[in-house]
Structure 1
Amino acid sequence: MADKAVAESPVTESAGLPAGGNDPDAAQRRRLHDAFVAVRARSLTLAAPLSPEDMVAQSMEDASPAKWHLAHTSWFFETFILQDHDPGYRVFREGYGYLFNSYYEAVGARHARPRRGLLTRPPVAEVMAYRRHVDQAMEKLVEAAPLEAWLQIAPLLELGLHHEMQHQELLLTDILHLLAQNPLHPAYRDSAPDEGQVAPPLVWCDYDGGVVEIGHDSKGFAFDCEGPRHETLLQPFALASRLVTNAEWLAFMEDGGYRKPGLWLSDGWARCQAEGWGAPLYWEPKDGGWTAMSLQGLRLIDPDAPVCHVSFYEAEAYARWAGLRLPLEAELELALGNATLTGNLLESDVLAPRVAPPVTTAQGGLARPSQLVGDVWEWSQSPYSPYPGFRAPEGAVGEYNGKFMCNQFVLRGGSCVTPQAQLRASYRNFFYPHQRWQFTGLRLAKDRQ
C-alpha cells in the first residue's frame, strides 16, 4: 500500500485550481476539486493489493464486493451530479444505474444486495474505465460550472466525498470478512510489527453532567442525522479511561460469559445461541490460546489491544457482567468536547487497533479518557433515532440516513480504518445490534452517586 496516498487528509486540503476571476466561491472550488482527486485516488490505493478475484466475491449479505464499492461510489457522482447538472454528460453504460444503485428508492429499481457477488460482468477493468470516465467529467464540471450551477453542485459534491470515504472503510471491513473465509488466512497486506506495549490500568474519568448541547453546530460539513444541535440532560457519570482489552474480554469468556443467559438481552441470547457465539468474530482457538484474523492475516491475540469485532449484544452482556454499562452517545460526545480528532485512524496506516497510551490528566489533575478517536468504533446504549426537530431532506438524498432510524444503535469515535476527514465530535455511526464485521469495541461507563 502506498503510505503517502493513505496519509493525505482530503476535504481539508486545497491547492490546484486557479482563482476563478470574479467567482466568490473560487476557494471552495479549489478545495473540493483537490479533495475529489485525493479521495478518488485513495479508493484505488486501497484496492491496489487486491486481485481481480478478490474484488468480485461477496462473503455475506451485509458485505459488498470491492468492485461494487468502486462502481457504486462512481454511480453516486454520475447520478446525483453529472446527470442533473452537466447537460453534455453521457452515461458510461446503460444498465449501470440498475447494477450500482444501493438503496435509493427515488432513483429506481436496483440489483438485489445479496446477489452483488454474482456480478462477474462488468469486469474489473471496465469498472476502472467507468471511474475514469466519471472522474474526467466531474473535474471538468467543477472547473467550468457557472456560479449558479456550482451553488447546487458544491453541497452534493461534498456529500459524495464523505459518502466515498464511508465506502473506503467498508471496502476494508468487507475484504477482511472475505479473506477470513479462506482457510489459508491470506493477508490483505504484510503484518505490522508487534508493539509489545502494555495497556495502562483502567481509571475513571468523572463528568458532572447537567444540561449539555450535542449535535452538529452547522459549521462545516455534517450528515443530516447529526443535527439539529439541541440540549439534553445528563446525570453525573464516569467513563473508563481506555477501551476494554482482549485480556479483559478473555476473563469474561473464561467466566462463562457466553454461556450465562442472565447476562444477555433476550434477542442477544437468541442470536448468541443460534449462531454459536463463544468469542469475538474472527477469533480461533490455537494451542490453548487464541488467534484472530486481521487485515495482516492470522495473528496471535494481543492481550493488551482493544477487543474488536463484537456486537452490541456482546458489548452489553460484557458491561452487565462487569457490573457497569455502556455509555450514552451524548456522554461520548461530551467527552470529546473540543478535543483534536486525532488517533489511530486510516491515515496511521496501521489497519489494526493499538494498545492504549498511558493515562493523561487535564487541568486540575483529573484523568481524561484516551482512545476516544480511532482504534475501534465504540458501542453506545443509545438507539439510532432522530434528534428533536430532525427533518430528512427532500428528494433521493433524503434517503441517505433518515430512513434507517429504527432498530439500530449508535457508535462513536471511528476506527483504525476510518478516514480522519470523515469524523466530527457529532458524527453518528449506526449498525444493527447483531453485526460484528465492523471494527467495533466498547468503553465502559458508570453512574456517579
Structure 2
Amino acid sequence: MTPTSITKDLVKKYTDIRRRSEEICAPLEIEDYVVQPIVDVSPPKWHLGHTTWFFETFILIPNFPDYQVFDTQYNFVFNSYYETIGARVIRTDRGNLSRPSVSDIYRYRKYVDQQMEAFLQSSFMTEAIEPLLELGLNHEQQHQELLMTDIKYILGHNPLFPAYTKEKKSKESAVEELQMLTFSEGIYEIGFKGSGFCFDNELGRHKVYLTDFEIANRLVTNGEYLEFMESGGYHDFKYWHAEGWDWVKQNEAKAPLYWHYIDGRWMNYTFNGLQDIEPNAPVSHINFYEASAFASWKGMRLPTEEEWEVASEHFNWGERWEWTNSAYLPYPHFKKEAGAVGEYNGKFMVNQTVLRGASEATPPGHSRNTYRNFFQTNLKWQFTGIRLAQ
C-alpha cells in the first residue's frame, strides 16, 4: 500500500467515525442536547465537544505547528477527568452549560476536523502518532455508545416518552432453548493477542486456572426476568447481597430501568417509545445487584470474566453488556502509560465490576471478546444483561 493510499484510508476512517457521532444526534431537538437528568448522564452536546477536545488536545496542539486553539475556555469545559491536563467543569455541572451553544460545538467539530484532515495528510503525521490517533478514534466510539445510552435516558425520563426513532425493529423471533455449555478444569489463556487495537486494560495475555464450570448459551430474557419479579424476587432478601438489599429498600426497586406498570401490564420504554414488553428479548438495563439476585433465584451465579472469555467462542454475544462476577483489577504485567493517556483506564481499577461483550448501542467494529468494560454495581442505564453460570 502506497503512502498516499494509507493517508486516504486514515482520513476516511477518521471522517467516517466522526460523522457517526453527528448522525446519532441527528434525530434530536436542540433542547435534547443540553439535558443532564443525573450525574452519570452527560448532555449530548458535551459528548460532541469532549470527543473533539480529545483530538485537539492530544494530537493537534502538541504535534501540528502553528495550530490555533479554537477557544481557550474549551479545555476547562470539555476535559473529562484528566488531572494532568488541568482544571475542568465538575461533572454534575455539565447540564448547566447553556453556553457554548449547540451551534458553537458543531462549529468546533468542523474546525477541528478540517485541521485534523490537514494534519493527517501532512508530514507531521508520523508512525509514532498512529497509536494515539487510534486511541482517539476508539475513544470517540466509546462516546458514541454513551451517546446512545444517555439519549435513551434523557428521552426515557421525559414524561411524554418521546421516540428517538420511528424505524421499527424486525418482529421478535422465538427464543433459543436454554442450554448449559460445559467446560473442563484446566489452564487457559485470556487477554488480547494478535495485531490491531486494544485498550491497555486488555493486556497482557496470561494464564488462568479454572475449575469445571457451565455457562448458558444465551442471555436471560424479559419473560424470564418477569417470572423473578412476579415470584417476589424484589421482596426476598435471601437472593441479594447485603449492599444490594440496601439498594432495593432505599430505591424501592421493583423492575429493570425503563419498565413501567401501566393499566395492569408492564410496558418498556424503547427507542421507539413506550412499548409492550417483548418476552423473548434479552432483559436489559439491570444492575449488578439485580443480575446477581436473579442468578441466585435460579440457583446459579454469574460467570467470572475469565470463564466468560474462555467460553465466548462457543456462544453468540453482543446484544447486551454482560455482568460478570469479577472485580475490575489490572491483569498481570499491566502498565500505565506516562502522562494523561495513562489516566485512561488504570485509575478506575477500584470499586468497579467487569462487564463483557457488547450491546446494540456498540458501534460496528468496536467489540472483541477481550474487551473489559466496567461499571459500578448500582448503575443500570447502560445496555446490561445477564448470562448464567454454575
TM category, shorter: over 0.9
SS at match of 1:422: coil
Q: What is the CA deviation profile of residues 216-238 of structure 1, one whole-angstrom value per residue up to 9, with x for unaligned ones? A: 11521100000110000111111
Q: 2:90 aligns with which of 112, 135, 144?
A: 112
Give the aligned partner of residue 2 of structure 2.
19
SS at match of 1:298: strand
Which amino acid in the other structure matches residue 17 of structure 2? V
Give the aligned partner of residue 13 of structure 2.
35
Give the aligned partner of residue 242 of structure 1.
218
Q: 1:135 aligns with which of 88, 113, 123?
A: 113
Give the aligned partner of residue 294 of structure 1.
270
Does the aligned pair in 2 maintain the 1:32–1:157 contact within 8 Å?
no
Give the aligned partner of residue 274 of structure 1.
250
Residues in 2 aligned to 1:208 and 1:38: alpha-carbon distance in whole angstroms: 44
Give the aligned partner of residue 329 of structure 1.
305
Give the aligned partner of residue 315 of structure 2.
369
Q: What is the CA deviation profile of residues 87-142 of structure 1, one whole-angstrom value per residue up to 9, with x for unaligned ones? A: 12100011000000000000000001011011011111110000011001111111
Give the aligned partner of residue 416 of structure 1.
360
Q: CA deviation at 1:419?
A: 1.1
Q: What is the CA deviation profile of residues 121-166 of structure 1, one whole-angstrom value per residue up to 9, with x for unaligned ones? A: 11111100000110011111111134xx512321111000000000
Give the aligned partner of residue 164 of structure 2.
188
Give the aligned partner of residue 400 of structure 1.
344
Residues in 2 aligned to 1:392 and 1:193: alpha-carbon distance in whole angstroms: 42
1:158 and 2:134 aligned: yes
Q: CA deviation at 1:262?
A: 1.2
Does the aligned pair in 1 maintain the 2:259–2:267 contact within 8 Å?
yes
Normalized against structure 1, the TM-score is what? Answer: 0.85
SS at match of 1:394: coil
Q: 1:327 to 1:151 in 2, by over 3 A?
A: same
1:440 and 2:384 aligned: yes
Does the aligned pair in 1 maintain the 2:164–2:273 contact within 8 Å?
yes
Which amino acid in the other structure matches residue 431 of structure 1? F
Q: 1:424 to 1:194 in 2, by over 3 A?
A: closer
Q: 2:62 aligns with which of 71, 84, 92?
A: 84
Q: What is the CA deviation profile of residues 303-349 of structure 1, one whole-angstrom value per residue up to 9, with x for unaligned ones? A: 11110000001000110110001011111111224xxxxxxxxxxxx
1:388 and 2:332 aligned: yes
Give the aligned partner of residue 73 of structure 1.
51
Q: 1:178 aligns with which of 151, 154, 172?
A: 154
SS at match of 1:382: strand
Does the aligned pair in 2 maintain the 1:215–1:426 contact within 8 Å?
yes
Point out the more displaced range, 92-101 or 201-210.
201-210
SS at match of 2:126: helix
Give the aligned partner of residue 38 of structure 2.
60
What is the RMSD computed on CA atoms of the aligned residues?
Answer: 1.3
Q: 1:27 to 1:155 in 2, by over 3 A?
A: farther
Residues in 2 aligned to 1:261 and 1:28: alpha-carbon distance in whole angstroms: 59
Q: CA deviation at 1:194?
A: 5.2
Give the aligned partner of residue 198 of structure 1.
174
Q: 1:217 to 1:193 in 2, by over 3 A?
A: closer
Point out the more displaced range, 189-198 or 101-110.
189-198
Residues in 2 aligned to 1:426 and 1:197: alpha-carbon distance in whole angstroms: 29
Q: What is the CA deviation profile of residues 238-282 of structure 1, one whole-angstrom value per residue up to 9, with x for unaligned ones? A: 111110001110111111111111111111111111111100011
Q: 1:28 to 1:433 in 2, by over 3 A?
A: farther
Which amino acid in the other structure matches residue 153 of structure 1? I
Give the aligned partner of residue 345 of structure 1.
none
Q: CA deviation at 1:201?
A: 1.8
Point out the more displaced range, 419-428 or 104-113.
419-428
Residues in 2 aligned to 1:212 and 1:43: alpha-carbon distance in whole angstroms: 38
SS at match of 1:379: strand
SS at match of 1:412: strand
How many corresponding residue pairs? 390
Give the aligned partner of residue 168 of structure 1.
144
Give the aligned partner of residue 340 of structure 1.
none
1:316 and 2:299 aligned: no
Unaligned 5+ runs, structure 2: none
Does the aligned pair in 2 maintain the 1:239–1:369 contact within 8 Å?
no
Does the aligned pair in 2 maintain the 1:208–1:237 contact within 8 Å?
yes
Give the aligned partner of residue 344 of structure 1.
none
Does the aligned pair in 2 maintain the 1:32–1:158 contact within 8 Å?
no
Does the aligned pair in 1 maintain the 2:172–2:281 contact within 8 Å?
no
Residues in 2 aligned to 1:316 and 1:27: alpha-carbon distance in whole angstroms: 50
Which amino acid in the other structure matches residue 288 of structure 2? F
SS at match of 2:261: strand
Does the aligned pair in 2 maintain the 1:291–1:300 contact within 8 Å?
yes
Residues in 2 aligned to 1:27 and 1:428: alpha-carbon distance in whole angstroms: 33
> How much identity, in percent, do the aligned residues show?
48
Q: CA deviation at 1:65?
A: 0.5
1:260 and 2:236 aligned: yes
Q: 1:97 aligns with which of 69, 75, 94?
A: 75
